[in-house]
Structure 1
Amino acid sequence: MTPLFPALAARADRPALQFGGHTLTYAELADDAGALALRIAGARRIAVWATPTLATAVGVVAGLLAGVPVVPVNPKSGERELAHIVADSAPERVLVEAGVELPPGLAAPERVDIVTRATRSGSLPERGRERERGTDGVPTGSATTGGGPAPLPPEPCPEAPALIVYTSGTTGPPKGAVLPRRALTASLDALEDAWQWTADDVLVHALPLFHVHGLILGVLGPLRRGGSVRHLGRFDTAGVTRELSSGATMFFGVPTMYHRLAEALADDPALVKALAGARLLVSGSAALPVHDHRRITTATGRAVVERYGMTETLMNTSVRADGEPRAGTVGVPLRGVELRLVEESGDSIEAYDGETVGEIQVRGPNLFTAYLNRPDATEAAFTDGWFRTGDMAVRDPDGYVRIVGRKATDLIKSGGYKIGAGEIENVLLEHPGVREAAVTGEPDADLGERIVAWIVPRDAGAPPSAEELADHVAGQLAAHKRPRVVRYLDALPRNDMGKIMKRSLGV
């Protein structure tokens, strides 16, 4: 059976992972992850305390090699959320970087410290150095080779669970989406095709490692291709400039990161040059405002590519590297992915007119198999084999998909019209007095719902008036899409991925 990571199986002598000053080649990663895989083999499930570190990447790869389902855990999880994830997934062991304290909620599973050869030589935290040592001088409970290369376990079957990734829990307790190995390979190989992704690519990013974007695309993607990833640990424009100026070819980020890059371009010629020299700039996890698209392209000549995916489906669509980089769209369905838009009645929308809004439904080898312990939720998520994403979109005549928002929070029914919040937000962000914007709907006795704009002004002392913003929108879009209410904030509530948490705005 073809290995998930061919370069790892071949123990290639080239860089695989770089986190800060620590680097592992494929051969070294095979040794470290292979030894850890032997230690955890046979476990029902393992959790990985997913700090943005080399240890996390090694722990996840070890779980995949061992064929043990991996549950990445957000280190910023609250006590209640963590208790739910641990109780629901019931991991037998928790893998964690040596020296890192775990919260009480992870006291029950057996702790396994991850010590890589890149961090072993005098760089462990004090707590890691002082742990009881075995006869070989390695901390007890740590996973290392202890000698020569450990043989890699045989490749599990394609339907075997690889990862259990928990959703954000916006409509209740987080659900664990069980992702099989074939979903990982299908999505990553489809992106190889769409992005012309090769072993020569060097990816730089600073995304968290407990979700699809940062972990599966940002770490497992380069390893699948045989390339390398340089993780910044923490996002800053200087780190992006440094890595893209020293051999990195790709950057993955979320809209918040690209907004900061766009803001810095006017005063940072080195950043302009670095972005201009990148082969591919990819944004995901939320819509990148058209305003920021244009600022980056104008300054660098380089367009940002958007893609669309979610925990349950991995990647569904993308603007292709060899396609038209159209701002405001997420491109076309990836190889192997079927996508349709559906009316509320359940009827499929056949019109590619750029106007008719419907719910995105998808099917293909990229889909998850089930929500862990939730057969009811799994059944409700599908209709005739199609996964109901809850995302609303239109399709342009050439098949490009433009997402207008979530069905629950971004589809506003006002005066008999179905209105997507996203297009109004893009127009508001083009107003010179607006720094951030979000659009929601709220009940209205006459209209059904009225459009509400939540605005962070550039100048808090002189914000644009509600009338000015309404006229600005009406001048760019149809008059019925203008905001009827404007509310001003110091900042919009966002999650770890930079997504605006609209439920915190009262919707």
Structure 2
Amino acid sequence: MGLLTALEGAYGDAADALRIDGYAMSREQLLGAATAVADRVAGAPALAVLARPTAETVAAVVGGLLAGVPVVPLPPDSGPKEREHILRDSGATLLAGGAAEEGLEPVPVELTARSGSSYAEPAPERTAFVLYTSGTTGAPKGALIPRSAVAAGLDGLADAWQWTAEDTLAHGLPLFHVHGLVLGVLGALRTGSRLVHTGRPTPEAYAAARGSLYFGVPTVWSRIANDAESAAALHSARLLVSGSAPLPVPVFERLVALTGQAPIERYGMTESLITVSTRADGERRPGSVGLPLDGVRTRLVGEDGAPVPHDGETVGELQVAGPTLFAGYLHRPDANAEAWTADGWFRTGDVAVIGPDGFHRIVGRASVDLIKSGGYRIGAGEVEAALRDHPAVADAAVVGAPDTDLGQAVVAYVIADGPVTGDQLTAFVAERLSVHKRPRRVVLVDELPRNAMGKVLKKQLLDLA
């Protein structure tokens, strides 16, 4: 069985099995165009793809996978320095979707092309993607994602979400991340579900997609929750999936009220793909990312290396093991040594709590979301959730700013949606959480800095703090 099983025997399928930003194509048409790309790239060390939300991007990615050539998605908005680093570090010699560049041969992608070639399925351990991390602590690192990890991750999600060929998957996410590309495109090509990529992820576009399964990041869901008419059109959907950042509880509750559907959350990283998720047939608990996928193991570890109890309260670093993990960082033996424990577990760098029932709640990144204040360990996510419960708060981000007395002080950056003061918000949090978790300072802002996937860039907030 190949990686993209829905392309096997695709002949005679629906003419609009895939619709990418308004362009409709059958899986047979995609296979023909992708095989023509494979003819051009076979044997190359790596294929870079300028990953715009287009049918040409999908054909180029699939062509690289058919030929067994590692695919390197390039964010279309990447700056010259980041782009140069990715191309040089990955060893790509070919570029699809972009103009000719020095040292790179352009690969044309023609959606009407056909090829009679056939390619044997590459070995499972072969690299499918070189996905570059955000590079918040230096130059982006290239994570080597094996074909076997992609297959295991998608099969685990198909089981957890009851995702089948009867579904229509709809989303408008970028095609250079795990969420939009691996889940949002390859997932449809493995399960056989219909795919509607909306181009831009607007509420109106999601409403018009008529999907049974929707993917979105919290920013997308927040906008839909503020558009009652568009949200009502999602009432017939089977599953609303949120990921890439925590979904605020007020947005969760408003989606339930407007769509009749409680959204599900899942957790993953570039290096691990998706490892934990709420199940379609299980409890959908606000603020929780659910249970490990089949074959995935998780554990919490304290700063001393000792196991942390699964009591729903104690915070620890989340470590994972299982078949969805990456094979290591390209050209980075130092980073590989730091990423893995001696007994073979991947250090996610995220902090979490696990309840007695196994449900996981992600607190945030250990580097910016685990605040050590006055001898206490405080999860930023818990304080953020409490702030968002205030009716005058649209969103909030919490960081630990250096403090000569406390070590770190809890500082909150808040987007207000009504009249409120910092003192009122501090008191509001102190009434709901332990007093030591209250913000020592509240800064009202018009917006929070975010990346392309909607994650708050907390290092920028730390610089401000």
TM-fit CA distance, 1:506: 2.2
TM-fit CA distance, 1:497: 0.6
TM-fit CA distance, 1:24: 1.6
- Name the structure 2 match of 1:124: none
Q: Distance in 2 between matches of 1:292 and 1:442?
A: 28
Would the aligned equivalents of 1:30 and 1:152 in 2 still touch at CA under 8 Å?
Answer: no
Matched to 1:288, the amino acid is L
Correspondence 1:6 to 2:5: yes
- Name the structure 2 match of 1:127: none
Matches within 5 A, 1:277-356: 277-349=236-308, 351-356=309-314
Matched to 2:137, the amino acid is T
3-state SS of 1:483 partner: coil
TM-fit CA distance, 1:298: 2.1
Q: Distance in 2 between matches of 1:447 and 1:275?
A: 47
- Name the structure 2 match of 1:396: 355
TM-score (norm 2): 0.97
- Name the structure 2 match of 1:25: 26
TM-fit CA distance, 1:308: 0.2
Matches within 5 A, 1:187-198: 187-198=153-164
Correspondence 1:56 to 2:57: yes
Count of residues in Structure 1 that have an aligned counterpart in Structure 2: 460
CA offset digits 1:390-418 (Å, max 9, x no partner) = 00000112000001111000001112211
CA offset digits 1:216-274 (Å, max 9, x no partner) = 00000011001121111111111111112xxx211100000011111112xx2xx2432
Would the aligned equivalents of 1:45 and 1:68 in 2 still touch at CA under 8 Å?
Answer: yes
TM-fit CA distance, 1:17: 1.8
3-state SS of 2:84 partner: helix
Q: Distance in 2 between matches of 1:53 and 1:20?
A: 6
Correspondence 1:212 to 2:178: yes
The match for 1:369 among 327, 330, 334 is 327
- Name the structure 2 match of 1:487: 443
Would the aligned equivalents of 2:21 and 2:53 in 1 still touch at CA under 8 Å?
Answer: no
Correspondence 1:92 to 2:93: yes
Correspondence 1:252 to 2:215: yes
CA offset digits 1:78-105 (Å, max 9, x no partner) = 1111111111012110011xxxx64x8x
Matched to 1:116, the amino acid is L
Matched to 1:339, the amino acid is T
3-state SS of 2:425 partner: helix
The match for 2:315 among 357, 360, 366 is 357
The match for 1:504 among 446, 453, 460 is 460
Q: Distance in 1 between matches of 2:168 and 2:102?
A: 37
- Name the structure 2 match of 1:75: 76
Correspondence 1:114 to 2:109: yes
**Which is greater in Rg?**
1
Would the aligned equivalents of 1:309 and 1:315 in 2 still touch at CA under 8 Å?
Answer: yes
Matched to 1:470, the amino acid is T
CA offset digits 1:275-316 (Å, max 9, x no partner) = 221111000000001111111112222011000000000011
The match for 1:446 among 384, 405, 429 is 405
Q: Distance in 1 between matches of 2:63 and 2:450?
A: 32
- Name the structure 2 match of 1:234: 200
- Name the structure 1 match of 2:45: 44
Q: Distance in 1 between matches of 2:75 and 2:69?
A: 19
Correspondence 1:466 to 2:445: no
Q: Distance in 2 between matches of 1:388 and 1:23?
A: 41
Q: Distance in 1 between matches of 2:422 and 2:395?
A: 15
Q: Distance in 2 between matches of 1:6 and 1:152?
A: 15
3-state SS of 1:38 partner: helix
Over the matched positions of the two proteins, sequence identity in percent amounts to 51
Would the aligned equivalents of 1:16 and 1:223 in 2 still touch at CA under 8 Å?
Answer: no
Would the aligned equivalents of 1:16 and 1:29 in 2 still touch at CA under 8 Å?
Answer: no
Q: Distance in 2 between matches of 1:473 and 1:503?
A: 23
Unaligned runs of 5+ in 1: 118-143
TM-fit CA distance, 1:432: 1.9
- Name the structure 2 match of 1:167: 133
TM-fit CA distance, 1:377: 0.8
CA offset digits 1:296-351 (Å, max 9, x no partner) = 112222011000000000011000000000010000000110100001111122x2
Q: Distance in 2 between matches of 1:207 and 1:272?
A: 18
CA offset digits 1:425-462 (Å, max 9, x no partner) = 11111212222210001122222211001012224xx4
Unaligned runs of 5+ in 2: none
Q: Distance in 2 between matches of 1:264 and 1:472?
A: 28
Q: Distance in 2 between matches of 1:49 and 1:150?
A: 26
Would the aligned equivalents of 1:359 and 1:407 in 2 still touch at CA under 8 Å?
Answer: yes
